[in-house]
Structure 1
Amino acid sequence: MEEEEARCFLGRFVEEFPAALEEGSPLPVSPLSRKVSLDELHGESLELGLKLLAARGAPAGLSALLCQAALSQLLQNDLSPFHCSQEADSQEEEQQVVLLQSEAVQRLFINKLIDVALTWHQNFPKPPPSPSQFLRCSVHAIKNTRRKMEDKHVTLAEFNQLFGIQDGVERAYYAVFDGHGGVDAAIYAATHLHVALSKQETLQRDAATALKSAFKYTDDIFRGKAKRERLRSGTTGVAVLIQGQELTVAWLGDSQAVLVRKGQAVTLMDPHKPDREDEKQRIEDLGGCITFMGCWRVNGTYAVSRAIGDFDQKPYVSGDADCSTTQLSGDEDYVLLACDGFFDAVKPSEVPHMVLDALQRSGDPEGGEDAPLEQSEDTVGLRVAQQLVGQAKAAGSTDNITVMLVFLRPPQQLLAQNSTTVPAKATQDSTSQDAPQQ
């Protein structure tokens, strides 16, 4: 994080917010919920703060530090004045859940954020060390022909800064969630899964166990919200944690992650689908069934066999994530995360060719009218995800499509190592440079 850039932003921010928000004044950003449980307060506050700061162009590292400091102060407050009164028709088990008035408690959080910004503007603190390895990330998502956009994604290179972790181990977190039956479950997972992960005692010594526990915890606390608010949605998800020289991936359902090393796709996972033999057996052992209704479905309903949410079909639709860990040796190119809207049209084995082709287009100063005017170490690769989404759409995908590339080496290095022109594959003739975008 550049101190001069951070100071400039703080100057602009305190000019817009020179004092705390007054009681009853509108919030500059809308809370995610009307009521929030104590378990949900951490994630929803951080999401609100990051959204507020990002909309004003805050450096990502500074945003993480500001939000972490403001949340720490919020949690030291007596929050009992914000408790919601229990409704007379609440179920007994629901009465045990303490709910807070979201708008009121988030006004307090934003005021804490403003207070921290004012203090740092006057006396800028020495920040904790920034990650020595900056991972460039290219993301693009489209609604495509679907009526609603139900995908969500998270890019968090500042994992340690956001949660105040100072153990000397660098961490970065990335995730893609593909909702169905509404976007609520996907929003919930994108808001809370990384928070749950940060609280796992096994995080430092066993990232796989920590990620699996975080998925399970997120599914469990979403159950309470779904019951309170009568939500019926679900979401698949794939999350990657890069911790030191380990890459750990955890997943539920058919969103996928692919690692590419020296231009070759490396299988990290086997997506959960109802017709996968072990998934079919698990469901049948529980007394459920798999039926074909346009596609294979669990008990004739959901086309996924594992997900966060979908509580009307638990335990047939399982909330237990699978996980794998890969040691990084330094010769890895990137890891790609995407929902099934991408992988239904693109085979994992096709990813290296498509990415290299897209990189060459992005890095070619004569790459056509859509090519960037200037190419630098910081810009090459940023448009790759957009091109991949366009290719999946051109190949016939009608679903929501989200693609995220996390470069483990600078994209310029990949171009230098593959300087010859990539020949077009017959199977990709339809995915030209002019593939339609949305």
Structure 2
Amino acid sequence: MEEEARCFLSRFVEEFPAALEDGSTLPVSPLSRKVSLEELHGESLELGLRLLAARGAPPVLSAILCQAALSHLLQTDLSPFHCPQEAEVNQEEEQKVVLLQSEEVQHLFLNKLIDEGLAWHQNFPQPPPAPSRLHPCFVHAIKNTRRKMEDKHLALAEFNQLFGIQDGVERAYYAVFDGHGGVDAATYAATHLHVALSKQETLQSDAATAFKTAFKHTDDMFRDKAKRERLRSGTTGVVVLIQGQELTVAWLGDSQAMLVRKGQAVTLMDPHKPEREDEKQRIEDLGGCITFMGCWRVNGTYAVSRAIGDFDQKPYVSGDADCSTVQLSGDEDYVLLACDGFFDAVKPTMVPQLVLDALQPVESEEEPGTPLKPSEEQTGQRVVQQLVSNAKEAGSSDNITVMLVFLRPLEQLLSQDSTTGTAQPT
């Protein structure tokens, strides 16, 4: 990492030789106009990672720099950035939560980030260890025939580095969020859920409990923002945390994750849909109903029974996540996360063969019969693009996001038997 990091830092300090001047336009736009103190954590990290990624920073270095800059920011007196009390109708609401002027406070955060970059460039330190097992991750997402793209995703192999966790347990975080009624809830979950998860004391000992608490907390945080800004959107979500030799999946709604082991599909979860018998019973016990209007809907509204947001239909649309955990033995091929735009058109049992087909060598157009030798990056990207195409060709008109995390080298997958089937986790 060191040589790549030094090259990046040289470019970075050339672009940012000193702190941003007061009142100058930010080089990257904040997500919000106003943030609470609690939201500042996620929004600052998102802003910093976005700025550094756009400039080709090594991901581990990005995580370390952003974590350090945020740590310095949170030690600063932020009272000068407090929003003034607004109209009388909002005073009671404003007193409940301190809001900050986002652009002004993010100006300070970016200057902290620039300071970190300058310090590293002048005196390159001994960085914390990078993840020893980097799982190649590939994503392809399309708007498809929908008017707007409301999916969001996040791949964070540098989970520990981003949050300064040094407990000796390696972690990687992967998430897909499928928004509806707007993208706000999906953006919010992609910005804040991993932050909430990192703060759970039970993360190492009981990842399922940590996830459930983090999902609920993120839903509560979004409720406050939705009330302040009159937002009405919601989002399903599926998240995978690989922690040591343990894989935990947590989900709300009908986005899904699946594992493939030795070419066989392993069922990790059962998506939340209104017509699922236990979900139907839960909704009816609360006094609600599900009705068929082209698809099954909760109280004739949403086609999902659990989500972050959708506060006009809480508690019928529940914010309580489910979780499952499997132990990794080393013979797993990959884990795939995708929204319902994929899984409504492609059955999980079809995935292993589709991936295997997409992994096959491609012949050169200039020299027929001669296979090309693409890089792992090119091969992985071709696979996820083909999976999205498969779903579209099978009739999906929804937004489609597919994330594929390989758990062993791609060439090993080509050498195994192409026979597929299903297996349950042990």
- Normalised by the length of structure 1, the TM-score is 0.93
| 1:364 lines up with 2:362 in the alignment | yes
In 2, Cα distance between equivalents of 1:413 and 1:376: 15
Q: How many residues align?
A: 417
Query: Percent of counterpart pairs with the same letter?
Result: 83
Paired residue for 1:161?
161
Maintained 8 Å contact 1:179/1:235: yes
Shift of 1:179: 0.2
Shift of 1:382: 2.9
Alignment of 1:185-200 (within 5 A): 185-200=185-200
Maintained 8 Å contact 2:252/2:321: yes
Maintained 8 Å contact 1:385/1:404: yes
Paired residue for 2:8?
9
Shift of 1:94: 3.9
In 2, Cα distance between equivalents of 1:375 and 1:102: 43
Paired residue for 1:322?
322
Paired residue for 1:427?
none
In 1, Cα distance between equivalents of 2:34 and 2:127: 34
Shift of 1:367: 8.1
Shift of 1:66: 0.7
In 2, Cα distance between equivalents of 1:28 and 1:309: 31
In 1, Cα distance between equivalents of 2:371 and 2:167: 40
Amino acid at match of 2:221: I
- Give per-residue Cα distances to partners, 1:249-288, cap 9 Å, x unaligned: 0000000001000000000000000010000000000000
Quickly say closer, same or farther: Cα 1:309–1:372, change in 2 above 3 A: farther
Paired residue for 2:49?
50
SS at 2:11's partner residue? helix
Maintained 8 Å contact 1:176/1:337: yes
In 1, Cα distance between equivalents of 2:371 and 2:57: 24
Alignment of 1:404-419 (within 5 A): 404-418=403-417
Paired residue for 2:340?
340
| 1:28 lines up with 2:11 in the alignment | no
SS at 2:89's partner residue? coil
In 1, Cα distance between equivalents of 2:152 and 2:218: 15
Quickly say closer, same or farther: Cα 1:76–1:28, change in 2 above 3 A: same
Maintained 8 Å contact 1:68/1:161: yes
Shift of 1:131: 1.1
Amino acid at match of 2:16: F
Paired residue for 2:170?
170
- Give per-residue Cα distances to partners, 1:137-163, cap 9 Å, x unaligned: 111000000000000000000000100
In 2, Cα distance between equivalents of 1:365 and 1:153: 32
Shift of 1:134: 1.1
Quickly say closer, same or farther: Cα 1:226–1:112, change in 2 above 3 A: same
Shift of 1:127: 0.8
In 2, Cα distance between equivalents of 1:91 and 1:338: 42
Quickly say closer, same or farther: Cα 1:116–1:352, change in 2 above 3 A: same
SS at 1:84's partner residue? coil
Quickly say closer, same or farther: Cα 1:234–1:377, change in 2 above 3 A: closer
- Give per-residue Cα distances to partners, 1:109-157, cap 9 Å, x unaligned: 0000000000000001111111111100111000000000000000000
Paired residue for 1:286?
286
SS at 1:132's partner residue? coil
Q: Which runs of 5+ in 2 are unaligned?
A: 421-426
Paired residue for 1:150?
150
Paired residue for 1:426?
none
SS at 1:39's partner residue? helix
Paired residue for 1:384?
383
Paired residue for 2:424?
none
Paired residue for 2:354?
354
SS at 1:380's partner residue? helix
- Give per-residue Cα distances to partners, 1:151-197, cap 9 Å, x unaligned: 00000000001000111100000000000000000000000000100
Amino acid at match of 2:105: V
Amino acid at match of 1:145: T
Maintained 8 Å contact 1:156/1:174: yes
Shift of 1:416: 2.4
In 2, Cα distance between equivalents of 1:92 and 1:376: 58
SS at 2:21's partner residue? coil
SS at 2:381's partner residue? coil
Q: Which runs of 5+ in 1 are unaligned?
A: 424-438
Maintained 8 Å contact 1:365/1:374: no
Amino acid at match of 2:56: G
Maintained 8 Å contact 2:274/2:303: yes
Maintained 8 Å contact 2:30/2:47: yes
SS at 2:415's partner residue? helix
In 2, Cα distance between equivalents of 1:91 and 1:395: 52
- Give per-residue Cα distances to partners, 1:31-84, cap 9 Å, x unaligned: 000000011000000000000001111111111111011001100100011000
In 1, Cα distance between equivalents of 2:302 and 2:57: 40
Shift of 1:417: 2.3
Paired residue for 1:252?
252
